[in-house]
Amino acid sequence: MDSSLNAAAAGAMPPESPREMSAQNLTEKPTARRIPAGAAVRFARFILVTTFCGITSYGFYQMLQVVRFASMTLLQGLMIFFFVISLSWIAFAAGSVLAGASKRHDARNPPGATLAAGAARLLTALVMPIYNENPIRTTAGLQAMAEALSDIGAHSDFEIVVLSDSTDANAWICETLAVNQLRATLAPIMPVWYRRRWRNIARKSGNLEDFVQTWGGRYAYMIVLDADSLIQAQTLQYLVTEMRKDESLGILQTAPQLIGARSLFGRLQQFAACVYGPVITRGLAAWSGNEGNYWGHNAIIRVAAFAECCGLPELSGRKPFGGFILSHDFVEAALIRRGGWKVCMATDCGGTWEESPPSLIDVAIRDRRWAQGNLQHSKIIGATGLRFSSRLHLGVGIMSYLSSTLWLVLLTLGFALSVQSHLIRPEYFSHDFQLFPTWPRFDVELMMSLFWFSMVVLLIPKLLGLVRALLSKRIRKSTGGVIGVTASVMLEILLSALFAPILMLIQSRHVLEIIRGRDSGWKAQRRDSGQTTWYEAWCYHYRHMLLSCVTATIIWFLSPPLLVWLAPALLGLFLAVPLSRASGSESLGTALERVGLLRTPDEVNLPALVRRRQELIAASIGLPDSGLKFLAQQAHAREAHARGNLPRPANLRGQPNAHTLTAEQKLADAETLEEALEWLEPAEQIEVAADINLLNRLARLSDAHSRIHI
């Protein structure tokens, strides 16, 4: 028997069916078909541009009236500059949702629609890349989707493919055990394939690229899932049908809703996604047209288009701006569109869900990686041949993180102007001869009017979302009627206003770290319980609280009225520790649900697919805490692990793996199973789990230990 997992493991994946996929040259424009925008898209873009230019121009003009332009100081000029940039950002968001009013509803296939008789059979892969995830939750979701497809007779053209990048030996072993169980359960319905990658190159994008290069020829389409994704059977069938109807369609992105939140912060995001999300995604789809975006999951992709256009190059320079592209989804959408394929968004199909991070700290950890990936797009936005809409999508991603820094700069400039006005005596007569003094001018009344104007623009997406919710019988019925919906929106606005300054400082710190060259790394995401201890909250947020106290004290001595207007931002920072602690509280989330606040329709009337996943999770048999110990003690588990994995890549001649050699020696020296497990380092545990001979030696230690006790 070979020292690595033997040939019996070939059942882990289907026979190889390669597709050529080479790295794209961002400096060369490929030859691509031209797809003109329709009249509806052009009208939506007109609404967007008109709103954006109108609001920005008005704000700029009014800001110039606040101060005397001829005698404007440097600080005032800087404040106007950053104010206009910040206002233009929220003006773009307002214009985008207003443009959504022009979009017609997507055409839907009738429920249970099937392919035309005689149509060629084209396989679709349900692809789920995972990284140190809970395999019980991931396989439960996949099983629920497969069963739902079987119920409507649409399962024969689908296959499940789990692509692991897990680096923890216990997570890997548990994955293979769970997938083997899933494979046995779904044997009458559809194939289940599993591959763990040995070299984690380019993270998720590299994981998908390896799959397409090795097995992409087997599949016409792939529906990319996150570990927490769920898509109902009718929606899966709709996505495939739309792909088959339009041969130029490269990506069709759905608009997933959030589901399953139990904590306060999770429920806050879930409600916001339900009420405001549809008007935002509808607006985005309206002006994007065939030049839409891709969010990395809950979307169908034509494999041929992906292989042709989405080989991502390694960016020049050092991390964090150089290296492999982190936020690959926006870039893949831009490159597919550059290659002449359509990238569309299905905003009305429904039946697609994901989960949200459970606490403020979890969001901050995820945002660190997203911030680096989006700022990295600054090296891609100028690539040759990209459509203007694709550049706009990349720019929006960059601004989504820079906007927090701009807001912080704007507040700092306002604070500096306040200090200047109280500590520096104004000069009424300049050095040049003049008959009349130059009086300092700052129109407070006009400034407050401009402030409230900015607040209205900022709240336009929320106000339109509220109007839509009030007009929706489904949402009204599940959230307590007109009063319940309105109360929930007011609560969401209040809590979001308190969390906003905290997120502003967190994201500003992320931007600063990225500029200073600090890489984000790659951490697994917490998806279920989000309980935050007081100690964790204090360690993460005490600087925010201290900053608010120091700032409030200074402003109190300089200008008490100014403190009143800055109180909302300072209050959120002052309460950062208890707010963070409360954000992960499931008891607070449950209390709000009981009184009817922040409810969503999918929460009140749980979709059958979501309910089925919950049932499978509840009925699942727990996985071992120590995977290696379990394999050592269970012969059938060792065999299942061997069959469920591809062979380990062979070492090059003269380059043995050091971790394998040290693991062999430790197993030779160990007298008991516990001693061996204690000695093995994480990298050595991986090598033992990959080598059937080493696993059998570990099992003999377990057998010897059992004989001694007998």
What is the share, in percent, of the chain residues with pLDDT greater than 70? 90
* Chain centre distance of CA 312: 19
Checking if the pLDDT of 6 tops 90, the result is: no
Which of the pair, 419 or 710, is modelled with greater confidence? Answer: 419
Helix runs in 481-607, H state only: 481-515, 534-558, 560-574, 576-583, 586-594, 601-604
- Average pLDDT in the 580-607 region? 94
d(CA 578, CA 495): 13
Q: Which pLDDT score, from 0 to 100, does residue 709 have?
A: 47
- Would you mind telling me the total number of residues written for the chain in this entry? 710
Q: DSSP readout, 191-250?
A: -EEEEE-SS-TTHHHHHHHHHHHHHGGG-SEEEE--TT-EE-HHHHHHHHHHHHH-TTEE
- Under the banding of pLDDT at 50, 70 and 90, the label for residue 56 is very high
Q: Which pLDDT score, from 0 to 100, does residue 35 have?
A: 84
Checking if the pLDDT of 4 tops 50, the result is: no
- Average pLDDT in the 53-58 region? 96
**pLDDT by residue (tens digit) across 585-595?**
999 999 999 99
Q: Which pLDDT score, from 0 to 100, does residue 101 have?
A: 85
- Under the banding of pLDDT at 50, 70 and 90, the label for residue 453 is very high
Q: Which pLDDT score, from 0 to 100, does residue 384 have?
A: 95
Beta strand 221-224 with 230-231 is unpaired
List % helix, strand, coil for the chain (3-state, nearest 5): 60, 5, 30
Per DSSP, the three-state class of 290 is: coil
Q: In this structure, are residues 279 and 97 in contact, taking their beta carbons and an 8 Å threshold? A: yes
Checking if the pLDDT of 438 tops 80, the result is: no
Checking if the pLDDT of 263 tops 90, the result is: yes
Q: What phi, psi does 504 have (nearest 5°)?
A: -60, -50
Q: Which pLDDT score, from 0 to 100, does residue 527 have?
A: 62
d(CA 393, CA 268): 26
Lowest-pLDDT range of 87-101, 216-230, 557-571: 557-571
Q: Which pLDDT score, from 0 to 100, does residue 437 have?
A: 47
How confident is the prediction for the chain on average, in pLDDT?
A: 89
Q: Which pLDDT score, from 0 to 100, does residue 681 have?
A: 96
Tokens standing for residue 695 = 């696993």
Which of the pair, 498 or 427, is modelled with greater confidence? Answer: 498
Q: Which pLDDT score, from 0 to 100, does residue 3 have?
A: 39
First-to-last CA distance in the chain? 31
- Average pLDDT in the 147-176 region? 96
Supply the DSSP symbol for 348. Answer: S
Residue with tokens 């900053």: 547
**pLDDT by residue (tens digit) across 675-694?**
999 999 999 999 999 999 99
d(CA 348, CA 100): 12
Q: Does a cis peptide bond (omega within 30 degrees of 0) precede residue 656?
A: no
Residue with tokens 């692991």: 164
d(CA 252, CA 468): 25
Q: Which pLDDT score, from 0 to 100, does residue 431 have?
A: 53
d(CA 662, CA 681): 9
**pLDDT by residue (tens digit) across 520-543?**
766 666 666 668 899 999 999 999
d(CA 20, CA 564): 62
* Domain range 39-107+121-424+442-531+584-619, its CATH number among 3.90.550.10, 1.20.1300.10, 3.40.50.1370, 3.40.50.2000: 3.90.550.10
**pLDDT by residue (tens digit) across 312-370?**
999 998 888 888 999 999 999 999 999 999 999 999 899 999 999 999 999 999 999 89
Checking if the pLDDT of 248 tops 50, the result is: yes
- Average pLDDT in the 239-252 region? 96
Q: Which of the residue ranges 88-97, 476-485, 622-631 has the most confident prediction, judged by mean pLDDT? A: 88-97
Q: What is the pTM of this model?
A: 0.91
Tokens standing for residue 654 = 């003269």
Tokens standing for residue 602 = 């999918």
Per DSSP, the three-state class of 13 is: coil
User: What is the arrangement of strands in the sheet containing 221-224, beginning at the earlier edge strand?
Assistant: 192-196, 158-164, 124-130, 221-224, 299-302, 249-254, 342-346
Q: Which pLDDT score, from 0 to 100, does residue 360 have?
A: 95
Q: Which pLDDT score, from 0 to 100, does residue 436 have?
A: 44
Lowest-pLDDT range of 300-309, 365-374, 512-521: 512-521
What is the share, in percent, of the chain residues with pLDDT greater than 90? 72
- Under the banding of pLDDT at 50, 70 and 90, the label for residue 160 is very high
Per DSSP, the three-state class of 538 is: helix
Q: From the CB of residue 200, how many other CB atoms can be counted at a distance below 10 Å? A: 15
Which of the pair, 503 or 517, is modelled with greater confidence? Answer: 503
* Intervals of CATH 3.90.550.10 along the chain: 39-107+121-424+442-531+584-619
Checking if the pLDDT of 574 tops 80, the result is: yes
Q: Look at residues 469, 270, 254 and name the one whose alpha carbon lies nearest to residue 351.
A: 254
